[in-house]
Amino acid sequence: MTEQNWTKLGLIAGGGDLPLEILKAQAGQPVFVIVLRGFADRDYSGVDNVSLSVGEIGGIIKALRGAGCDAICFAGYVSRPDLKALKMDTRGLVMVPRALAAGRNGDDAVIRVVVEEFERAGFAVIGADSLLGQDGLPVGCLGRAEAADAHLDDARKAMMVAAEIGRLDIGQGAVVSGGVVLAVEAQEGTNAMLERVAGLPAPIRGTPTDRSGVLAKRPKPIQERRVDLPTIGVDTVERCARAGLAGIVLEANGALIVDRAGVEASLQEHGLFVLIESAQ
Amino acid sequence: MTEQNWTKLGLIAGGGDLPLEILKAQAGQPVFVIVLRGFADRDYSGVDNVSLSVGEIGGIIKALRGAGCDAICFAGYVSRPDLKALKMDTRGLVMVPRALAAGRNGDDAVIRVVVEEFERAGFAVIGADSLLGQDGLPVGCLGRAEAADAHLDDARKAMMVAAEIGRLDIGQGAVVSGGVVLAVEAQEGTNAMLERVAGLPAPIRGTPTDRSGVLAKRPKPIQERRVDLPTIGVDTVERCARAGLAGIVLEANGALIVDRAGVEASLQEHGLFVLIESAQ
């Protein structure tokens, strides 16, 4: 973990388990949670929290300051909000349209505008990986010890495709099986992509009894890594297993594994691997 | 239409309406149809035909020769066959595995192996576009007369993304709305991609009352254009309409429109456009 030069964390919680993982890792430390209405979907009643809309930027900043936070971490899924239905305060009214206009250049532009706004307000922005003690996810292999040559070829091609897709700011992921690009991730997200792979005709993909194909996830080159690092969890492994894939490939220092013990158990159960490769 | 230096056409019919369109365009000319079992899904009982599996390459060549064909056209959808269930004759047993091994480099390699086999057997391979009198699909616009600037921006970006995706031999299509790449087509095909777009959260896509976004389809640079030209039809327009898109962009001389009159009527009905741009 990097040296900590802040005193109290504000956790801005979107959907999924990642915010809970961070609370667990920060146990004993003071944490204040902004529960993002419409996105956060776990129980935060056990910790100091306030529920606000992503459009209430002024309200979020005020609440964080009121709680004495000098650092923040964005964690969990947030999708583009529906402007017509979004509750916005004055600062939100200024910023949200600006962020969405930046979004014409892709998701990363939106994220960058939001991060800069909070930095200007005086908060240190901390990556979820560093709070989970995962910065420096090392090169290596989890789960099934040996990946066959065909799987390594697929992993290599999937990483190449994911790099190109990221360079174009389209998405973070791709699936390759037998040298064929089965699917590329754009706005639908990794889970929907994996479901799609599971629905492809059997001859072009693997099956649970004859696994083939690798999911690659890697950060976009222009990515704000403190906010939107590629993430996998038990759910990802189980979807890969159902899609007949042989494994997952990630970039060292460029991904986040939520519930590492659970992920390792699921890899063992289904006979899948996770390769962590050095960035090219 | 290019000059015809062959006497009798063998139509190798896969799924969808394209083979029927070609029969209509060739009315009065002698045509023999190979009905590909498991793929062809229209009624060919009105014309000379024989039903064979894609693995019966020797049988297909023999039937075409027996019928006096000296030219062939591949038309309609064919997906990668399941080798375990595929009926193959001797020539098929030699060729199909070779084609599928070539497939490790992508679909175009498969197609090229198949085309070369038929050319070696002495048949001229004719593109569907030339039989439909569509070679030279000209630069222009069908349907709604004016595309807004935002739609033209989306069309430009969708064409750029489709070009990159094609260069990587991933697929032929992409959808961009408001500058954001909503979806990229790989093995699932255009229809599944459009359904996916229709299922994305409303804030990032258009709706039938406030249309946004453009589907681009263009050939891959390495593509065997006589066999696998990007194709749209009434069904494509209707799926785009349901996905809230504003239009479609194609490359001049690089696409096929099945049932042109029907497509124009559907564009009028839904208020969509088709742009046909010169290849860059």
- Listed in sequence order, the residues at least 6 apart from B106 whose beta carbon sits closer than 8 Å to its beta carbon are A179, A180, A181, B169, B170
B12: left (phi over 0), alpha (psi -120 to 50) or beta: beta
Buried b (16+ CB within 10 A) or exposed e, B66-97: ebebebbbbbbebbbbeeeebebbebbeebbe
What DSSP assignment string belongs to B44-69?
Answer: -TTS-EEEE-TT-HHHHHHHHHHTT-
- Please count the other Cβ atoms lying within 10 Å of the Cβ belonging to residue B225: 16
Condensed to tens digits (0 to 9), the pLDDT of residues B138-190 reads 788 888 767 889 999 999 999 999 999 999 989 999 999 999 999 999 999 89
A179 touches chain B (CB under 8 A): yes
Which residue in chain A has the smallest CA separation from B83? A203
Q: List the single residue in B164, B188, B196 with the smallest CB-CB distance to A164.
A: B164
Q: What residue type is A246 in one-letter code?
A: A
Phi, psi angles (nearest 5°) of residue A34: -90, 110
B181–A188 CB contact, under 8 Å: no
In the predicted structure, residue B263 carries a pLDDT above the cut 90: yes
Structural fold of domain A9-128: Rossmann fold (3.40.50)
B191 touches chain A (CB under 8 A): no
Residue A52 token pair? 């606000």
Interface ipTM: 0.80
* Cα gap A14→A189, rounded to integer Å: 15
A83 touches chain B (CB under 8 A): yes
Helix (H/G/I), strand (E/B), else coil: A34: strand
Residue B11 token pair? 């139509």
Domain with CATH 3.40.140.80 in chain B: 140-277
Average pLDDT over residues B73-85: 80
A140 min Cα distance to partner chain B (Å): 27
B267 touches chain A (CB under 8 A): no
- Please count the other Cβ atoms lying within 10 Å of the Cβ belonging to residue A226: 18
Q: What angle do CA A28, A33, A34 make, to 5 degrees?
A: 170
Condensed to tens digits (0 to 9), the pLDDT of residues B99-125 reads 777 666 666 677 788 888 899 999 999
B165 touches chain A (CB under 8 A): yes
Q: Which chain B positions have a beta carbon within 8 Å of A165's beta carbon?
A: 184
Condensed to tens digits (0 to 9), the pLDDT of residues A230-270 reads 999 999 999 999 999 999 999 988 898 988 899 999 999 99
Q: What is the CA radius of gyration of chain B?
A: 19
pLDDT digit string (tens) for chain A, length 280 residues: 456 789 999 999 998 889 999 999 998 899 999 999 988 999 999 999 999 988 888 999 999 999 999 999 999 888 777 767 778 888 888 877 777 776 666 666 777 888 888 999 999 999 888 888 766 677 888 887 678 899 999 999 999 999 999 999 899 999 999 999 999 999 998 999 999 999 998 878 999 999 999 999 999 887 777 787 899 999 999 999 999 999 999 998 889 898 889 999 999 999 999 999 987 6
- CATH number for the segment(s) B140-277: 3.40.140.80
A176 touches chain B (CB under 8 A): no
pLDDT value at position A140? 82
Condensed to tens digits (0 to 9), the pLDDT of residues A21-32 reads 999 999 889 999
Average pLDDT over residues B264-270: 95
- Residue B103 DSSP class: G
B187–A181 CB contact, under 8 Å: yes
Q: Which chain A positions have a beta carbon within 8 Å of B199's beta carbon?
A: 188
Q: Who has greater pLDDT, B232 or B226?
A: B232
A38 touches chain B (CB under 8 A): no
Question: Residues B177, B200: contact at Cβ < 8 Å?
Answer: no
Domain with CATH 3.40.50.20 in chain B: 9-128
A104–B182 CB contact, under 8 Å: no
Condensed to tens digits (0 to 9), the pLDDT of residues B180-197 reads 999 999 999 899 999 999
Which residue in chain B has the smallest CA separation from A204? B80
pLDDT value at position B1? 45
Q: How far is CA B116 from the centre of its chain?
A: 19
Q: List the single residue in A165, A169, A180 with the smallest CB-CB distance to B103.
A: A180
pLDDT value at position A193? 96
Q: What residue type is A137 in one-letter code?
A: L
| C-alpha closest to that of A255 among A129, A76, A107 | A129
pLDDT value at position A262? 93
Greatest Cα pair distance in chain A: 59
What DSSP assignment string belongs to B108-146?
Answer: HHHHHHHHHHHHHTTPEE--HHHHTT-TT--SEEEESS-
Torsion sign over Cα B169, A180, B106, B10: negative
B132 min Cα distance to partner chain A (Å): 31
- Residue B212 DSSP class: -
